[in-house]
Amino acid sequence: MGAPVRSVERVGEKVLQSFHNTGHAMFMLFEGIWFIQFAFGKRSRRETATQMYITGIKSLAVITVVALFTGMILALQTGLELKRWGYEEFIGSAVAVTMIREMGPFMTGLIIAASVGSAIAAQLGTMTVSEEIAALEVMSINPNRFLVMPRLFALIVMMPILSVYTNILGIFGGAVVGTTQLGVSMQAYMDNATQFATNKDLYVGLFKAFIFGIIIATVACHQGFMTTEGAVGVGKATRRSVIISFLIILVVGYMVTRLFYI
Amino acid sequence: MIRFEHVTKVLGNKTVLDRISFEVGEGETFVIVGLSGAGKSVTLKHMIRLMMPDDGSILIDGQEINRLRHSALQEVRGKFGVLFQSAALLQWMSVRDNIALPLRELTHTPEEEILRLVNEKLEMLGLADAGEKFPADISGGMRKRVGLARAIIMNPKIVLYDEPTSGLDPVTSRRIDDLIVNMRSQLGITSVVVTHDLHSALSIGTRIMMLHEGRIVENASPEDFIRSKNETVQSFLESQYITKKGKWEGMGHEKV
Ligand SMILES: Nc1ncnc2c1ncn2[C@@H]1O[C@H](COP(=O)(O)OP(=O)(O)OP(=O)(O)O)[C@@H](O)[C@H]1O
Ligand SMILES: [Mg+2]
């Protein structure tokens, strides 16, 4: 067989493999969603609460800093431009609309994918290579209920909440820059911010955060379960989970924006 | 009870199992020996469908396990208790919670009863002080014993042990051997034991099978195993200082 034929074969194999993997991830996701009805049942509530705590509280410090600076940078960049034309009073709406529609959910998604998502992939990956997942299966304890559901649930609930938090801090960060660097009064900034941001913006932003939560949980759990080759494999799974989550968040974020604003 | 028929398994580009056939009868303690990488763990994994063969079939109580649907598979797996080579304990749970896990997740046993059963197993395996510790804080040998306690807490009909005594001191090893023997004599439990330790294999086994390069090179009672003419078996025996004239000479129905 010639080299070209062989490489075509290899590509074919890769494509088939990725369909297979996607199917596996989807099945896992659907089972995870199905089991959410038991999130606060006797057997799962402790794990659900733990995961919500980990997802919600552990990343708060990073999110706070990133959100503040995102708002500040936005205000500074657009503010300087607006000021050239004498429109600096519009800085409030510029920051608010950008944060709520796009940057809030997006930044939250990236941080949570890098912190919580990678931790999930590493933990489930370690469990996979040390046969813990196999042990659960033999005991007929469904890993999708036992492990995936609490993580999925925590991310679905926490992502929108954290995203709102990011929005508020971002807008506040913008206000700090607006009042100190651009000479806009707090009153004018807030009036302007609330005047232009619509409920639709908020809903679309929350919807994005919710979808990003599903993406992060699915990719991280799936990569964890697919781990092979011991400790090296765990490292690979963790890295892949972050990269794949980033890419899907970018693409899906764009598509949701298109869907609602065109 | 467990029956392999011409089972072939290829992993990567290596034929790990090459058309192997054997049978484990009810109440037997079936020991699998072989060099590292011989496919012992892979064989065990096929019994509970953690791996599926590329060819051949595996029957558990007459049912081909690889053709079962989900609920039937769960039922068959329910017959098994499994001690994994790595013990496979959940790291974020205490020893006590790890052992209680199957009872809590799969049954409606009241909490006092669960604690009683867990304490009984802790006592039995010499882990009485370790209940509140976490898997990361105990020794490898202790982890093995916790895995063993979890494997037998649901009173399975069949127990699979992947190297139950590796990493254990000789005294504790003999205790585990006694436990396996007792499970057979008192409860009629069928066991499949993977081990490197031939002394323990010869004292607990009702049958010993040796795997080598994907094939079964010997499958015999302990008495016949030590007399095997097979070169691989002989060198394996010699490597552990077991000779026909040694300690094992008197056992079984020897034909002089
Ligand atoms: N999931 C897997 N993917 C690829 N190869 C595997 C896998 N599991 C096992 N193997 C290979 O199959 C062979 C047999 O492995 P197995 O774990 O059964 O050995 P073993 O007899 O249990 O050895 P040990 O005494 O070291 O535990 C080895 O060559 C191993 O590399
Ligand atoms: Mg092994």
Backbone φ and ψ for B188, nearest 5 degrees, come out as: 65, 25
**Which range among B90-94, B119-123, B165-169 shows the weakest confidence by mean pLDDT?**
B165-169
**Residue A107: what residue type?**
M
CA of B209 to the centre of ligand 1 (A): 17
B105 touching chain A per CB within 8 A: yes
B98, B135 Cβ separation under 8 angstroms? yes
Instruction: Report the C-alpha gap between B204 and A196 in whole angstroms.
Output: 80
**Residue A262: what residue type?**
I
Instruction: Report the C-alpha gap between B64 and B73 in whole angstroms.
Output: 10
Calculate mean pLDDT across residues B190-217: 91
Instruction: Sketch the domain layout of chain A as residue ranges.
Output: 58-257
- Could you identify the residue written with the tokens 């069928």? B190
- Which structural domains are found in chain B, ordered by start? 1-79+158-168+178-256 (3.40.50.300), 88-155 (no CATH)
Give the model's pLDDT for residue B254. Answer: 38
Contact between chains at A141 and B86 (C-beta distance less than 8 A)? no
Q: How many Å from the N-terminal Cα to the C-terminal Cα in chain B? A: 34
- Residue A43: list chain B partners with CB under 8 A: 104-105
- Residue B80: list chain A partners with CB under 8 A: 138
Select from B47, B45, B42, B49 the least CA-distant residue to B15. B42
B101 touching chain A per CB within 8 A: yes
Instruction: Report the C-alpha gap between A138 and B83 in whole angstroms.
Output: 11
Calculate mean pLDDT across residues B95-101: 95
| Residues in chain A, overall count | 262
Minimum CA distance residue for ligand 1 atom 7: B11
Minimum CA distance residue for ligand 1 atom 16: B39
Calculate mean pLDDT across residues B171-178: 87
User: Order of strands, edge to edge, in the sheet holding B63-64?
Assistant: B14-24, B2-11, B55-60, B63-64
ipTM value for the complex: 0.87
Question: From the CA atom positions of chain B, what is the Rg in Å?
Answer: 19
A93, A82 Cβ separation under 8 angstroms? no
* Substitution target from B105, B109, B146 for chain A, most A beta carbons within 10 A: B105
Give the model's pLDDT for residue B58. Answer: 95
Instruction: Report the C-alpha gap between A57 and A73 in whole angstroms.
Output: 25
Instruction: Report the C-alpha gap between A156 and B116 in whole angstroms.
Output: 39
Residue A33 or residue B238, greater confidence: A33
Give CA separation, A2 vs A8, A10, A16, B71, in Å: 10, 13, 21, 47
* pLDDT, tens only, B18-46: 999 999 999 999 999 998 889 999 999 99
3-state DSSP: chain B helix, strand, coil percent, rounded to 5? 40, 25, 40
Residue A197 or residue B218, greater confidence: B218
- Could you identify the residue written with the tokens 């490197």? B196
Q: How many residue pairs bridge chain A and chain B with CB atoms within 8 Å of each other?
A: 44
Ligand 1 surroundings by CB, under 6 angstroms: B 11-12, 14, 16, 34, 36-42, 85
Instruction: Report the C-alpha gap between A1 and B192 in whole angstroms.
Output: 45
Q: Alpha helices of B55-162 — where are they, by DSSP H?
A: 70-77, 95-106, 111-124, 140-152
B72 touching chain A per CB within 8 A: no
Contact between chains at B84 and A131 (C-beta distance less than 8 A)? yes
- Could you identify the residue written with the tokens 């034991």? B193
B45 touching chain A per CB within 8 A: yes
* pLDDT above 90 for B125: no
Which SS3 state, helix, strand or coil, does residue A2 take? coil
Instruction: Report the C-alpha gap between A91 and A184 in whole angstroms.
Output: 8
pLDDT in tens, chain A (262 residues): 566 677 777 888 888 888 888 888 999 999 999 999 988 888 889 999 999 999 998 889 999 999 999 999 999 998 888 888 888 888 888 889 999 988 999 999 999 999 999 999 999 999 999 999 999 999 999 999 999 999 999 999 999 999 999 999 999 999 999 888 888 888 888 888 888 878 888 999 999 999 999 999 999 999 999 998 888 899 999 999 999 999 999 999 999 999 988 7
A98, A72 Cβ separation under 8 angstroms? no
- Which of B10, B41, B197, B212 maximizes ligand 1 atoms within 8 Å of its Cβ, making it the mutation to test the pocket? B41
